[in-house]
Amino acid sequence: MKSLELIVERIILSSRWILVAFYLGLAMSLAVYAISFAYKFSKVAINVFTYDEGEMILAMLGLIDAALVASLIVMVMISGYENFVSRFDEGEAESDVSFIGKLDSGSLKIKVASSIVAISSIHLLQVFLNSNQFTDSKIMWLTAMHLAFVVSAVMLGFLEQLMKKAKDSSKI
């Protein structure tokens, strides 16, 4: 019976390597998204002298939004791999990315929630700048959804602080 338990445990532990397919897929999606970003940027660059101030602000917000989404993808790939699959080699990790090893699952949740709030804020700002194209009901629902993201992020931060205090007090 002990050998069966050992086999099951090895299978379960080895199955974490299946996650690599997801992280590689995210890396490929990041490359596709970079092409999309380049297209958006070229449209802005071509129209730099024809856009009025409002259109330029909306275009810049779109580029900022894309950068935040790309950063979120990178953060999930690196910290997910580091936390669930395997550690990066120490020498390479320190020279390439300084935050590797500092993103545990709790801090990752906070960073992801913060990124989602930032992305939602940009989308909501774009809606407000184009409010004549949206119904009041649509704006209300988008605002309510954004507030739900904000409350969720604040609650995650609060829970993370409670967990950190509990962990620190248990060390004493």
By residue range, what is the domain housing residue 144?
A: 27-171
**155, part of any domain:** yes
Question: CA torsion sign, 114 to 119 to 120 to 122?
Answer: positive
Would 6 be classed as within a structural domain?
no
| 19 domain residue, yes or no | no
Residue 9 lies in a domain: no
Residue 2 resides in a domain: no
Whether 10 maps to a domain, the answer reads no
Q: Count the domains in the chain.
A: 1
Convert the pLDDT of each residue in 7-25 to its tens digit: 999 999 889 899 999 999 9
In a domain, residue 3? The reply is no
Q: Is residue 152 part of a domain?
A: yes
pTM: 0.72
Mind listing the pLDDT tens digit for each residue in 51-103? 988 889 889 988 998 998 898 898 888 888 887 788 777 665 555 656 555 66
